[in-house]
Amino acid sequence: MVLVRSGFQVTEASAPSPPDLLLYTPDPTVGGDEFACVLPETDGTGGRHFVERLRQVFARHTFADLGPAKMPGISAGVIAYPHSEALRPEDLFTLAEGALQSAKSGAPDRIAVVGEG
């Protein structure tokens, strides 16, 4: 699972949609500029790679609300399943949220993977 904070309001009309991307929002507090992506059969390294690819998609996308000189930043929290701390599906979201908070507390555009140093 990848939890992404994009730094701008995500709407169906404004967000680029890579193929086979499933947006998942199990918590009603997620929304606006945060969304979750469930990536089947993807480990932490693959989740990090996905966020890098998502950044490339955003770089090619025109965001009418932001203007040409402003590009939204992307911070992400990534967790792979199975994970020893994820006993319930809700635990995945909680752990990804913790990783996202860690990423946001550092420099802009960081990716934090649960279990990486």
* Half-sphere CA count of 108, side-chain side, radius 13 A: 7
What is the structure's pLDDT at 114?
92
Residue-number span of the structural domain to which 88 is assigned: 2-113
pLDDT at residue 21 in the model: 43
Q: Higher-confidence residue: 85 or 117?
A: 85
What's the total number of domains in the chain? 1
Q: Is pLDDT of 18 > 50? A: no
Mean local confidence (pLDDT), 42-49: 91
| pTM above threshold 0.95 | no
End-to-end CA distance of the chain: 18
In angstroms, the CA 28 to CA 112 distance is: 22
Tokens representing residue 21 in the block? 């991307």
